[in-house]
Amino acid sequence: MIEKLPDLNEWENYFLKNNGNLQKITWNYEDSLSKEERNCVSRSIAKFQLGEYSEGQKLIEFCEKYSQKYEDKILKKITSLFIKEEQAHSQILKRFMELNNIAILKYDWTDNIFRFIRSLSGYELSITVLITAEIIALTYYKALSKATKNKLLKDICLKIIEEERKHVLYESMLLKSMRKQKTRISQFFIFVAHKFLFCSSLLLVLIDHRNVIIRGGFNVYSFWATNIDEFDNAFK
Ligand SMILES: [Fe+2]
Ligand SMILES: [Fe+2]
């Protein structure tokens, strides 16, 4: 028996309502980063800006295939809106970077690893990789917001955190419902593999973005522990 998809109407409403909600940010062109702040955060922001952007074709393809077996049309609609929301994050960061003369990155090896795993197979793996990055993003943007006095950057971080929190909630709900349909032993191995992916990614982010993380008031232990808490909360 094929289980039903969870109720997606509420999520469709959320994504529709939030669509193009850029007005939360007041673009103050006078407010630029100090030289010291810029040196600390620019490469890190550039990497996140690159990571936030995706055409999302592969995700839509996987989603179409997955939702076909449920004869569902809402999931694809939500996925398109979700991709738009991620592209908006990238766009906002790009605009901020341009305002502050921060160079746009075209390539980053950690970003390529994430994209490669996401493209390997199916909808479930794509969502698993996405949520891994989004959970870490929650604490990263918190650190970035505390690492600066720049009001515009703080507002941007706040908006992205708010939306990523919704994404984490939405995707964990989907993943939990997918995993529930598997045997106990598969559920166990999937959980262990996901936690391994999460911890490896977290280690990479800690090394790569340590300047922002430390400036944002975290140390290695508190950044690690906060992230593990976020992961455990998402899947409890
Ligand atoms: Fe995002
Ligand atoms: Fe997201």
Residue 205 maps to a domain: yes
Instruction: List per-block mean pLDDT (blocks of 10 residues) for the chain, which spans 236 residues.
Output: 74 88 74 91 96 91 91 92 94 95 92 85 92 98 96 94 96 94 94 96 97 97 98 95
Distance CA 158, CA 155 (A): 5
pLDDT confidence of residue 185 = 96
Which of the ligands is closest to the CA of residue 160? Answer: 1
Quick check: is 46 in a domain? yes
Query: In the prediction, which pLDDT does 1 show?
Result: 41
Cα(first)–Cα(last) distance of the chain, in Å? 26
pLDDT at res. 72: 85
Q: In the chain, how many domains are there?
A: 1
Structural domain includes residue 28? no
Structure tokens at 177: 């419902």
Q: How many other CB atoms are there within 10 angstroms of residue 98's CB atom?
A: 11
27 in any annotated domain: no
pLDDT score recorded for residue 121: 80
From ligand 2's centre to the CA of 167, what distance in Å?
5
Please check whether residue 158 lies inside any domain of the structure: yes
Ligand 2 center–CA 137 separation, angstroms: 8
What is the reported pLDDT for 73?
Answer: 86
Structure-token pair, residue 120: 């390997």
Q: Is residue 26 part of a domain?
A: no
Q: State which residues form the domain around 147.
A: 9-18+35-234
Domain for residue 64, yes or no?
Answer: yes
Whichever domain contains 109, its CATH number is 1.20.1260.10
- Residue 13 is assigned to a structural domain of this protein: yes
pLDDT of residue 20: 66
Residue 24's alpha-carbon distances to 27, 66, 236, in angstroms, are 10, 34, 31
For residue 135, give the ligand nearest its CA.
Answer: 2
Instruction: Give the pLDDT confidence score for residue 70 in this predicted structure.
Output: 84
